A = this chain, B = another copy of it.
Amino acid sequence: MSRFEVNILGCGAATPTMRHLPTAQVVNVRDKLFMVDCGEGAQVAFRRAHLNYNRLGHIFLSHLHGDHCFGLFGLLSTMALTGHTGELVIHAHPDAEVLLRPMFDYFCRENPFDIRFNALSPSSSEVVYSDRSVSVRTIPLKHRIPTCGFLFEEAVGDRHLRGDMVEFYNIPTYMRAAIKQGADFATPDGKVVPNSQLTLPPTPPARYAYCSDTMYSEGIIPYIEGVDLLYHEATYADDAEAMARTTYHSTARQAARIAAKAHVGRLLLGHFSARYNDEKILLQQALEEFAHTELAHENMNVVLRR
């Protein structure tokens, strides 16, 4: 097991302000980088966070509102200019390819890497990416246009060898990897020791759920139940609950209620409306519903596993 972190590049809502960039973040799983949404200014924030373009292979777009994707053009141009190679996959609503492909073809003409689009169906939940370390599943959200969140889940690691058993049975080094993966052990005199006696269960996989943009929706709870970290949009405070409903956004309190009902480990609030000069009011209202709540901020690094 190793590194699993979330880097917040932007956590403002539709209108960027002097305090917040529009939405963008990078999930780092064992030094592979996965970008989630890419609002204007993401490339500069990416650089400020000391992230490396060479480790970025996948970008996931929750929906096609400009504040979640207008940073793509600059980001991809810079990757082209700096000689990025290989393939970059953009996981997004099918409209993305129709709209964005002509732009990339025109503006990144001498692009040295391939851009591939993977069409998402935001209304159903599906695994859209997986490798040995992590899988990414979509979470259907309720917004004005087709929108999905993303659940990042570490792959289950090996079982843990019990030191006392290794010693007791004098298990040779070359056999240990197989046992960690579930094999039984046969002693020199033919006795079979079952794996369950030799090992402890693997470390539970860390899970991160990104849910933005969405109105209050208990339908997401089964997908995010018990995650270590939930990023949930919290565009408004209580005073604008009606506005939240009309615009298909959430209040901070609603985000916290979802976190409580889903028994998540920690809640990170983001997607703050430009109307709040200080998000303290959002935090206060959320804390009344769920204790383990924090405000996101630009250049924040949240560690799920070191």
Contacts and interface: CB of A to CB of B under 8 A. Distances in A.
Given A40-B43, A106-B99, A74 B81 contact: no
A44 B40 CA distance: 10
A99 B103 contact: yes
A15 interface: yes
A78 interface: yes
A149 interface: no
A16 B82 CA distance: 12
A107 B41 CA distance: 17
Q: What is the interface residue range for chain A against chain B? A: 20 to 34
Nearest to A95: B106
Nearest to A41: B41
B40 A73 contact: yes
A122 interface: no
Contacts of A106: 64, 95, 99
Interface in A134-177: none
Interface string A46-66: 011000000000000000111
Given A77-B66, A77-B70, A107-B65, A18 B40 contact: no
Nearest to A18: B48
B67 A77 contact: yes
Nearest to A75: B40
- Secondary structure type dominating chain A contacts: helix
Given A66-B77, A78-B15, A81-B14, A40 B103 contact: no
Nearest to A22: B74
Contacts of A65: 107
Given A14-B78, A40-B73, 4 more contacts: A67-B77, A70-B73, A95-B106, A103-B103
A226 interface: no
Contacts of A64: 106-107
Contacts of A48: 18
7 contacts: A16-B43, A67-B77, A70-B70, A70-B74, A70-B77, A99-B103, A103-B103
